[in-house]
Amino acid sequence: MDGASTKTEYAHIVRTPGVVGGEPRLDGHRIRVRDIVAARDLGGLTPEEIAASVYPELTLAQVYSALAYYEDHRHEIAQARQNEAHFVEQFLKDHPQLAREVRPAEC
């Protein structure tokens, strides 16, 4: 996990081998670009809400930079999400004794 970060053409966005799988992330944090996107798309939050409540350690500029990176690299981020889902699926098949049943909370 001791690799040097590679800056991207986007302010605040770096890649570091061995840190969050080398995925694009916010510099100085282990927060991936796709974590910001998930807060927006799955959580229905605005960039301001993400910076204020989900990741208060980030600036609004960092959140917008992550979203800009995503908009220009949608395929790459979708591929990372798909790779992780495949990894989890395979892990659960290989190690069913480690899996717990997860149920949605009752309303």
Q: The domain that contains 66 carries what CATH number?
A: 1.10.10.10
In a domain, 64, yes or no: yes
Q: Burial letters for 53-78: b for 16+ Cβ neighbours within 10 Å, e otherwise?
A: ebbeebeeebbbbbbebbeebeeebe
In a domain, 65, yes or no: yes
In a domain, 94, yes or no: no
Print the domain residue range for 36.
Answer: 6-73
| pLDDT greater at residue 73 or residue 103 | 73
- Both tokens of 25, joined, read 């992330």
Which tens digit of pLDDT belongs to each residue from 1-21?
456 888 899 999 999 999 999
In a domain, 99, yes or no: no
Q: Is the pLDDT of residue 71 over 70?
A: yes
In a domain, 53, yes or no: yes
Can you tell me the distance from the alpha carbon of 14 to that of 7, in angstroms, rounded to the nearest whole number? 4
In a domain, 24, yes or no: yes
Q: What value does the mean pLDDT take over residues 23-33?
A: 97
> Is residue 36 a contact partner of residue 25, using CB atoms and an 8 Å limit?
no
Which tens digit of pLDDT belongs to each residue from 54-63?
999 999 999 9
pTM equals 0.80
Can you tell me the distance from the alpha carbon of 23 to that of 4, in angstroms, rounded to the nearest whole number? 13
Count the domains in the chain: 1
Give percent of the chain with pLDDT exceeding 90: 70
